[in-house]
Amino acid sequence: MKIISFNVNGIRAIEKKGALLDLVEKEAPDLLFLQEIKAKSEQLSDALLMPAGYEAHYHSAEKPGYSGTGLWVRKNALQEPKVLRGMPEWNDHEGRILGVESENMIIFGNYFPNGGKSDAAWREKLVFYDHFHRYIGALRQAKKKVLFTGDLNVAHNPIDLARPKENETHVGFRPEERAWMDRLVEDQWVDVFRERNPDAVSYTWWQMQSRARERNVGWRIDYFIVDRKLFSRVKDMKHLTEHPGSDHCPIVLDIEI
């Protein structure tokens, strides 16, 4: 199974650029997870609502033009897929949690909070992180096979961003959120890219205003995370760093499930 995650930074904008359908045509994913769609379903074209060969699902934010996630499932790729939105005991009014369940496998493609707008947003980010960690732990306890992907909005270690010293106090690289990643790893959740490429320098997000992508001054904040028990099934993972259309690049996982 090929799974792609892509923070599109506006699904209508990337559609106009041709960079979304071009990705699907080139890579033919079984599952395509989208973050930051910034739109409601009624604002989308038929090509986005009914993409050829796929069933499209969206989880939009209540606030117009903000956040939101999407999922395209290739027809017949999964046995009786069930779409999951949000998580228990959490008001997901920003459309951040979107997943699919098939048999005993659950795959999420999430847009984690940035947390940089205010102190309250920062605190809520940390609560969100811990709540999601408990949620996937409960699913594991229920004998579900779990993996998740998306824009986690955190660079785990200095190797994961171009300028770690300058960003030590910057949201996205603060000790508290990096410690959450540590806890995930300790709890036997595997960062697939880093486990397979311990010394690789590769980024998934670049600030557009400073033309950072041309200079490759970026951050790795988009991940595939799998339960340790599933890691042996991973066949390949890559960053499509040359793919245009967004300030993020698509990331791709090939896994046997």
Active site residue 151: yes
DSSP reduced 3-state for 206: strand
Cβ atoms 154, 112 nearer than 8 A: yes
Active site residue: 30, 92, 151, 222, which one?
A: 151
Pick from 131, 174, 134: nearest CA to 154: 174
Locate 114 and state its tokens.
């940035």
Q: How far, in Å, CA of 23 to CA of 124, rounded? A: 33
Torsion region of 232: left, alpha or beta (phi above 0 gives left; psi -120 to 50 gives alpha): alpha
Contact of 30 with 2, CB cutoff 8 Å = yes
Tell me the DSSP string of 32-100. EEEE---S-GGGS-HHHHS-TTEEEEEE--SSTTS--EEEEEETTSSSS-EEEESBTTB--TT---EEE
**Which residues are designated catalytic?**
151
